[in-house]
Amino acid sequence: MIEISRLTKRFAQQAVVDDLSFSVQPGEVLGFLGPNGAGKSTTMKMLTGFLAPSSGTASIHGFDIQTQTLQAQRLIGYLPEGAPCYGDMTVGRFLEFIAEVRGYRGADKRARVDRVVGLLELEHVRRQSIETLSKGFKRRVGVAQAILHDPKVLILDEPTDGLDPNQKHQVRELIGSLAQERIVIISTHILEEVTAVCTRAVVIANGRLVADGTPFELESRSRYHQAVTLVGENALDRQALAALPGVAGVEENPLENSLTVLARPGEVIFPQVNALIAERGWRIKELDVERGRLDEVFRTLTRGEAA
């Protein structure tokens, strides 16, 4: 497991990461979220041993990242922001080089390189120099080098940045399969990534933890949790919807020609809305119940961070 306890990093007198504590268990895919400048990258660098904390501790499966750095780093696969690679190397040679750095030789090295080339579908660019690849393929090479040594902990910074929808789906499926016996931490600005692949999310702002829960638990904090959106073929009676039991209010969406009926906290309003539709004989083209909007929760939790 990963244990982070009261982790703090100061530059001059400013605390970029401030008394941060949480743990991650094998099998969890943790989304690590926060606005720009919140301290995400600094936390990642401390967790992987590239930056020393001002105070506090971090350990990887019992190995302290400060005092047992090499033992901890052997367990980590890391994809940093930007996926730095040697551009003049071919994909195959770069992955062979990484395998050699990790201590693999001969048949074991070739098998490991072949495995990640297959998983990330890099065969047809294997002999191409990295500097000539698209951003998406460079990202895939970055993921390949991170998983080459079959790490127990996988730390990925924006893993699907630059990928097309098919490639994103493929990488998300790969992350899901890798997480069965490992810890995966994903730092991302793409909130869609959290609901698609993460089992848990930690949100930080100003270097401090402001939320920790499953994606569903975070979505349930949204004012749109259990909201019902209606798209009608004709005009809908907004006042009648607002008067229903458990309804907190009704929002108009002029561009979509729809109404969103908001539920009071803890209320389920779909049965009442559905009964009113039947009673009035409204012709409805779409009827959706929302889980909640993670982007709205994120903005609420981190409001003021950008300023």
Residues 158 and 280 in one domain: no
pLDDT per residue over 243-274, tens digit each?
999 999 999 988 777 999 999 999 999 999 99
Q: Of 165, 199, 219, at which residue does a domain stop?
A: 219
Residues 91 and 132 in one domain: yes
Q: The tokens of 26 are what?
A: 């094998």
Residues 178 and 214 in one domain: yes
254 or 223: whose pLDDT is higher? 223
User: What is the share, in percent, of the chain residues with pLDDT greater than 90?
Assistant: 71
Section 167-190 average pLDDT = 84
pLDDT class of 227 with cuts at 50, 70, 90: very high
Section 40-56 average pLDDT = 93
Q: Name the residue type at position 164.
A: D
Q: Is the pLDDT of residue 13 over 90?
A: no
Please tell me whether residue 56 adopts helix, strand or coil conformation.
strand
Q: Of 219, 240, 275, at which residue does a domain stop?
A: 219
Residues 33 and 92 in one domain: yes
Residues 143 and 236 in one domain: no
Q: Are strands 29-33 and 200-205 parallel, antiparallel or unpaired?
A: parallel
Residue ranges making up the domain that contains 140: 2-219
Q: Is the pLDDT of residue 26 over 50?
A: yes
Task: Confirm whether 83 is domain-assigned.
Answer: yes
Q: Of 165, 185, 219, at which residue does a domain stop?
A: 219
Q: For the chain, percent helix, then strand, then coil, each to nearest 5?
A: 35, 30, 35
Task: Find the DSSP H helices in 103-236.
Answer: 106-119, 135-147, 165-178, 191-197, 215-219
**With contact defined as beta carbons under 8 Å apart, do 135 and 67 qualify?**
no
Residues 120 and 235 in one domain: no
Check which CATH number belongs to the domain holding 267 and give it: 3.30.70.100
Residues 191 and 274 in one domain: no
Which of 164, 206, 207, 200 has its CA nearest to residue 179? 200
- The phi, psi pair for 245, rounded to 5°, reads -60, 135
Residue with tokens 């991302």: 188
Question: Can you state the angle between helices 135-147 and 165-178, rounded to 10 degrees?
Answer: 10
pLDDT per residue over 105-161, tens digit each?
999 999 999 999 998 889 999 999 999 998 888 888 998 999 999 999 999 988 887
Domain count, the chain: 2
> Could you tell me which residues come within 8 angstroms of residue 125 by beta carbon, excluding any fewer than 6 positions away?
91, 133, 137
pLDDT per residue over 84-111, tens digit each?
688 999 999 999 999 999 999 999 999 9
Range of lowest pLDDT (156-165, 225-234, 241-250): 156-165
Residues 55 and 144 in one domain: yes
Residues 6 and 127 in one domain: yes
**With contact defined as beta carbons under 8 Å apart, do 213 and 297 qualify?**
no
Q: Is the pLDDT of residue 210 over 90?
A: yes
User: What is the share, in percent, of the chain residues with pLDDT greater than 70?
Assistant: 98
pLDDT of residue 134: 85
pLDDT winner (highest mean) among 138-142, 180-184, 226-230, 231-235:
226-230
Residues 105 and 180 in one domain: yes
Residues 167 and 237 in one domain: no
Residues 204 and 64 in one domain: yes
